[in-house]
Amino acid sequence: MSGLAGIVDSSIDLEYRLAVMLRSLEHQGGNERGFWVSSFVETRLGLAHCGKSVGELEEDVRQPYVDEETQLVVTVVGDIYNYRELRRRLQVHYTFVTDSSVEVVSKAYHRWGEECLVQLNGVFALVIYDREKDVLLLARDRFGVKPLYYSTHQGKLYFASEVRSLFAAGVPRRMSVEQWAGYMLYSSYGAPYATFWEGVYQLPAGCLMRYNGYSLSDKCWYNLQDEIWELLAGYKAIELSEMFAAEVVHSIARSMSDVTICGLRVTGRIESQLLYMIAAQGQQSWKIRTFTGDIDYIGQQPLASPIWVTADDAVKELEQMQYWLEEPFDGSESVVRMAMFRQARHNGVEVAFSGMGLDVLWQDVWDSTEQIYNYIVHHDIFSRDIVGWATRPVYECVFGRDTDKMRYLDLYYERIPHILRFFDRSASEAGLCVRMPFLDGHMVALSFVLPAILRNSRSNIFKDYVEQNYHAPVESIKTMSLMPMWCDGGLKEWVCDNLAVLRSGRLREWFNPEQLQSLCDDFYNNRKVDIVLLWKCISLQQLSSGR
């Protein structure tokens, strides 16, 4: 729903390049756009913003927001769910001229400094320029839902909420061979700073970066381990259980407080069902518009409006991905989600709610192949050069138990950051905002603490909670594969055409052509194939042909 961009550079065409960056973000929606340019140390700083957050759709506030009282210039993308609560606390010390979250961020930073980030509950990427101290600050939310990318190309600092804005400003669009090799062979998304593009980095989740005009420095403002230790040291078992029960409900109410109408996808997953049950019983139940897709078996779940995703819809979404995709996508579920987002937006939904957060963090067992992050065992489809570039990821982790270790690595290094970014990015492309109430700092910390305190498995704790509080059985996940229907409707030919381009195009040296042809033939003739590998190849082709 909104995007930001910025440049630190002394060249005379800074304003023009800033406008080009902003133009690449205008798909985020609305006609709201703003620029701010000023001197900065011995150079110049330009900030740009387009669109508005959900809570500010009716507010007359423009970003970048210049706060004369605090001498700060602030721009924010995303949603601060508790900004009204923070405003009530801060209005004792400041005079507010708007009812916007961006002004709350300005006052909060002036009052508490960098510690204000701990006070913010939501998903966000923000930039703050302190005019008095001549310091620039960039920061991301706890779990990195909202991306924030940067590059120091030719000694200049570029930053934006989307990679393509950096390309628009002149940063070269070059795929990172090392990063792609690690992904293709080991399903690794790389270190927290890594992206799939050379010279482009992302600010890690829960981190901030300061720039004084001469050097960059960064640090983590959020530390999950610290929150875990505080819970363990400060609360008894019964208090932690009550905290979990209260937080489940409060997180939903908090994230719905500034929304008029919200869409909720009801699926066979228990976290989706729980989200619906709590929201439907709350004071804001009138806001809910439910929908579902044909990948889901709903069973006895509440009636939801179906959104059918045909083979034509799938091909259309896949063909469009090359224009906005910035990293790989994960198979048919990503395609279904994208199509449903577009249809929900067409039906008037501006905010979609998801139960994501409980499905992965509250499970007990990982597949053995996931424990070593080596999904692709057979490397003969790749050339020797690509195999040589690939690096098996090695991580440090403070947790000793395998399940805690995997949960932590998933949360900060592997699937979850990628899933969250793609989830948010695909929704933005459709003109939607996505909120995930259960991805709350306390909820995540409790997923580590409660099993140790209660001496029970995570899944049993979650199951008991649902059954005792909502008298509903925890149903198993049931989904259907759309691939057979899509293949009969034309997807098979589309996939094979793209594999042919991959085999003969500029990335042909990445593959063993005979093995790639064999993968194509097996898929076309309905023989068993590694579907994960197939989707990886399609992702690679889409990104390599993107603009």
Residues in the chain: 547
Residue 75's DSSP bridge partners are 127
In a domain, 429, yes or no: yes
Listed residues 194, 220, 246: the one ending a domain: 220
Mean pLDDT of the region 140-154: 93
In a domain, 92, yes or no: yes
Residues 207 and 67 reside in one and the same domain? yes
**Cα(199)–Cα(189) distance, rounded to whole angstroms?**
16
Residues 497 and 438 reside in one and the same domain? no
Radius of gyration of the chain (CA): 23
In a domain, 394, yes or no: no
* pLDDT at residue 478 greater than cutoff 70: no
What's the structural domain count of the chain?
3
CA proximity to 151, closest of 198, 196, 98: 198
In a domain, 143, yes or no: yes
Listed residues 168, 194, 220: the one ending a domain: 220
What Cα–Cα distance (Å) separates residue 122 from each residue in 61, 166, 198, 444, 515? 20, 25, 30, 14, 46
Residues 56 and 93 reside in one and the same domain? yes
**Cα(463)–Cα(474) distance, rounded to whole angstroms?**
6
Contact assessment for residue 275 and residue 438, using Cβ atoms and an 8 Å cutoff: yes
User: Which amino acid appears at position 168 of this protein?
Assistant: A
Mean pLDDT of the region 421-448: 85
pLDDT tens figures, 37-75: 999 999 999 999 998 766 554 456 889 999 999 999 999
Residues 352 and 461 reside in one and the same domain? yes
Report which of residues 352 and 131 the model is more confident about.
Answer: 131
Residues 456 and 495 reside in one and the same domain? no
Mean pLDDT of the region 326-341: 86
In a domain, 370, yes or no: no
Mean pLDDT of the region 292-320: 72
Range of the domain at 528: 483-544
How much is the pLDDT for 308? 80
Q: Record the pTM.
A: 0.91
How much is the pLDDT for 54? 63
Residues 275 and 158 reside in one and the same domain? no
In a domain, 376, yes or no: no
What Cα–Cα distance (Å) separates residue 48 from each residue in 16, 153, 353, 485, 535? 12, 19, 28, 44, 35
Mean pLDDT of the region 201-206: 94
* pLDDT at residue 476 greater than cutoff 70: no
Residues 118 and 143 reside in one and the same domain? yes
pLDDT tens figures, 358-400: 666 666 554 444 444 444 555 689 999 999 998 877 767 667 6
pLDDT tens figures, 2-34: 899 999 999 889 999 999 999 988 776 556 788
* pLDDT at residue 125 greater than cutoff 90: yes
Mean pLDDT of the region 278-300: 67
How much is the pLDDT for 48? 95
499-508 contact pairs (CB < 8 A, 24+):
499/537, 499/538, 499/541, 501/541, 501/545, 502/537, 502/540, 502/541, 502/544, 505/541, 505/544, 505/545, 506/544, 507/540, 507/541, 507/544
* Cα angle value 202/208/213 (rounded, 5°): 90
Listed residues 220, 243, 275: the one ending a domain: 220
Residues 213 and 331 reside in one and the same domain? no
**Cα(85)–Cα(343) distance, rounded to whole angstroms?**
34
Contact assessment for residue 128 and residue 105, using Cβ atoms and an 8 Å cutoff: yes
**Cα(178)–Cα(196) distance, rounded to whole angstroms?**
9
In a domain, 405, yes or no: no
* pLDDT at residue 296 greater than cutoff 90: no
Q: In terms of C-beta density within 10 A (0-12 exposed, 13-18 middle, 19 or more buried), how is residue 79 classed?
A: buried
Residues 303 and 352 reside in one and the same domain? yes
How much is the pLDDT for 209? 97
pLDDT tens figures, 491-533: 999 999 999 999 999 999 999 999 999 999 999 999 988 888 9
* pLDDT at residue 90 greater than cutoff 60: yes
Compute CA 354 distance to the chain's CA centroid, rounded to the nearest angstrom: 12
Residues 534 and 425 reside in one and the same domain? no
CA proximity to 542, closest of 351, 226, 386, 321: 321
CATH of the domain at 315: 3.40.50.620
In a domain, 393, yes or no: no
Which structure tokens are listed for 55? 């809570």
- The fraction of the chain above a pLDDT of 90, given in percent, is 43
Q: Which of 104-108, 110-114, 353-357 has the lowest mean pLDDT?
A: 353-357
Neighbouring CB atoms inside 10 A of 316's CB total 14
Residues 293 and 421 reside in one and the same domain? yes
Contact assessment for residue 125 and residue 208, using Cβ atoms and an 8 Å cutoff: no
Pick the most confident of 108-112, 211-215, 420-424, 542-546.
108-112
Residues 422 and 527 reside in one and the same domain? no
- Provide the mean pLDDT of the chain: 84
3-state secondary structure of 153: helix
Helix (H) or strand (E) holding 126: strand 122-130
Compute CA 229 distance to the chain's CA centroid, rounded to the nearest angstrom: 26
3-state secondary structure of 455: coil
CA proximity to 83, closest of 49, 107, 66, 47: 107
How much is the pLDDT for 515? 93
**Cα(125)–Cα(143) distance, rounded to whole angstroms?**
11
